Amino acid sequence: MKIGEFAELAGVSKRTVDHYTNIGLLEPERSASGYRFYGKADLEKILLIEQKKTEGLALEEIKAELGATPLQTDSAELIGKKMETIQKELDEVLHLLKKTDLDQAAIKLEISHEKLAMLQSILHLFS
């Protein structure tokens, strides 16, 4: 179901669902056009989230707590997505490193040249 129906069923605002999605608490499917699709599992999850909130937990804490187990189902896809994210970020960093003096960066980051080089190799493996 789309965000409107989902939010109503969950008893929260669309903006709340939006927020949870942005911070990665909910991970809906996406249509080709970008529309989010939430399922029954998401519904159970958000109800649990609202429960935890009344217990005084912060969203990030809830995320950590929930992130520990419910990944058995579709962990492969999830890992795939995470890999994409990480790859993008590695790209960013390497981009920065190229614009900077590599040696100086290494010094300030307290990382050895080998590790930096290693990082670069890894990136090549994934691209």
Question: How far is residue 50's CA from residue 48's CA, in Å, rounded to a whole number?
Answer: 5
83 binds, among DNA, a copy of itself, none (CB under 5 to 8 A by kind): a copy of itself
16 binds, among DNA, a copy of itself, none (CB under 5 to 8 A by kind): DNA
Which lies closer to DNA via its Cβ, residue 14 or residue 119? 14
Other C-beta atoms lying within 10 Å of the C-beta of residue 67:
12
Question: How far is residue 4's CA from residue 115's CA, in Å, rounded to a whole number?
Answer: 47
C-alpha angle 96-100-103 in degrees, rounded to nearest 5? 115
Residue pair 67/76 in contact (Cβ under 8 Å)? The answer is no
What minimum distance in Å lies between the beta carbon of 1 and a copy of itself? Answer: 26
Question: How far is residue 127's CA from residue 121's CA, in Å, rounded to a whole number?
Answer: 10
| Number of residues engaging a copy of itself in binding (CB under 8 A) | 34
- Residues forming contacts to DNA in the complex (CB under 7 A) are 2-5, 12-16, 18-19, 21, 31-36, 53, 58-60
- Residues forming contacts to a copy of itself in the complex (CB under 8 A) are 67-68, 71-72, 75-80, 82-83, 85-86, 89-90, 92-93, 96-97, 99-100, 104-105, 108-109, 111, 115, 118-119, 121-122, 125-126
